[in-house]
Amino acid sequence: MKTRKSVIYSILLLIGSLILLNILSFQYFVRLDLTDTNKYTLSDATEQILGSLDRPVTVSAYFSENLPPQYSKVRREFKDILVEYARRSDGMVKYEFINPEDQKTKQKAMQSGVRPVLISVQEQDQMKQQRAFLGAVIQMGNQKEVIPLIKPNTSLEYNLSSNIKKLSVEEKPKIGLLQGHGEPSRRNLGQVMNSLSVLYNVETVSLSDTTYNLDPYRTLAIIAPTDSFPQSHLDQLDRYLAEGNHLFVGLNRVEGNLQRRMGEANNTGLGSWLKDKGINIQEKFVTDARCASIGVTQQQGGFQMQTNVQFPYIPLISNFADHSITKGLETVVLKFASPIEFTGDSSLTYTPLAMTSKNAGTQRTGAYFNINKQWNKDDFPMSNVTVASALEGPIQGNTQSKMVVVSDGDFPVNESRGRGRGQRGQRSQINKDNVNLFVNSVDWLSDVTGLINLRTKGITSRPLEQVEDGRRIFLKYFNFLLPIILIIIFGIFRHQYNKNLRIKRMEKGYV
């Protein structure tokens, strides 16, 4: 009888504990974040943005029902992060989820800027296309921002925080985009301009021989100039840095012509100016065993065949420093980059940001590009060659300033302008991490909100072919054997428990 009462009391205690825990869960939200990138922990930048809100923000999330698993996961994660935003903002962030199932709600979503997209759905061993809504509208007063498509493996926190910041900020900082020396226009920089416009006003600016007009800009970007800089313009850049401003420089020190299959130096005067500041971009081509492929037309049996061949002059950079500019980057594609070396003194802080792989080398200008060359290990005697770097300190004069330099000026350009092609340039999408490297650099030079660390937060892609052989084998067998080992351990434990229970039941006086 005593045993029966104990069981009843235990059950009642368990039920009471569950009820109490359920009540407390409505008052206190707790979540353990065990991810290596703290994907589910709000950053200090987001906390600051939410804490400074003086007007309510409404997030209307338009998500279709019955989505495939990967999109259902995005919907669930988006809702979880909105719950966190609402709690951390003391109710200043409100949200609603809308299923556009009828014509009225569909029309409302499309009028707001969220349009249906086609997604692939597998049903009964066949793939079919389904129209679905996967977007959100963020509104503060009469202003609104739209996230037209929320895709898997994107930084939800950055999308939300940057748009809320965009709505709440009264005046965006100005970024100067230098023109007048053959630099690409805004039109050629579509992707990076779209990303920068979230937090900055980007304006084109040309240097004058007589008038200094750089005062409005906290950061100035110089991208892929092709014409010479007169001394008066270099003097203005000196003054700009001496006043404590910041500079981004993407410079093509060398050019490659695939039609002539030759490489040559690109002299604008900016390379010598940078060398005086402590950063020397050498007149050499970087080569890397880890590289992209190019299409080559070959004659085979009377027919012209298009084949892809590895081209070490286009390195795939995945070796990055532990720095806020490069945090979260996976692979940056550079075309005809050059080695960077530091020649300054100890008053400056120099940081290599991006390096080649362990199998790299250099080639002089004037060398012939042998497309069909069979590259071997002896062609790559160098390792970790720097292709992007940051510089801090009294770069010019005694005032602290910052500079980021990349030895491929075209890496953020959508239109190639013929570089490396020997023909007229073509407009194309560029690698997302090329965009992130440029925008992160501008953020580091200009941003005081800390949102730089959110753009690539939670975005990880670790293909097994890029993992070292030993680790790949370990992961393979670990994933295979771990479930089996756990089942065996559970079986042994269960067997021992049942054995002990049988022995106990056989004891004298057991009831």
- The per-residue pLDDT for range 312-370, each reduced to its tens digit, is 999 999 999 999 899 888 999 999 999 999 999 999 999 999 999 999 999 998 878 88
- SS3 (DSSP) at 185: coil
Structure tokens at 255: 């050019």
- Percent of the chain topping pLDDT 70: 83
- Note the pLDDT tens digit of each residue in 389-398: 999 999 999 9
Residue ranges of domains in the chain: 20-167, 173-461, 469-506
For residue 143, the number of C-alpha atoms closer than 13 Å in the C-beta half-sphere is 12
Residue with tokens 């707790």: 30
DSSP state of 140: E
HEC-encoded secondary structure of 293-311: EEEEEEEECCEEEEEEEEE
pLDDT of residue 231: 95
Lowest mean pLDDT among 75-84, 144-153, 407-416, 498-507: 498-507
Q: Using an 8 Å Cβ cutoff, are 141 and 166 in contact? A: no
pLDDT exceeds cutoff 70 at 3: no
CATH number of 20-167: 3.40.30.10
Q: Distance between CA atoms of 496 and 499, rounded to whole angstroms?
A: 5
Residues facing 121 on adjacent strands = 128
pLDDT at 217 over 90: yes
CA distance 485 to 492: 11
User: Per the structure block, which two tokens stand in for 24?
Assistant: 């407390």
pLDDT value at residue 165: 85
> Quick one: pLDDT at residue 237?
97
> Measured between alpha carbons, how far is residue 91 from residues 1, 24, 53, 94, 459 in Å?
53, 18, 10, 6, 28
Whether 182 shows a pLDDT value over 70: the answer reads yes
**pLDDT reported for residue 252:** 96
Phi, psi angles (nearest 5°) of residue 171: -145, 120
| Average pLDDT of the chain to the nearest whole number | 84
Q: Convert the pLDDT of each residue in 61-73 to its tens digit.
A: 999 988 888 888 8
pLDDT digits (tens, 9 = 90+) for 425-468: 455 678 889 999 999 999 999 866 666 666 666 555 555 555 55
CATH class of the structural domain 173-461: alpha beta
Give the separation between CA 31 and CA 81, rounded to whole angstroms. 11
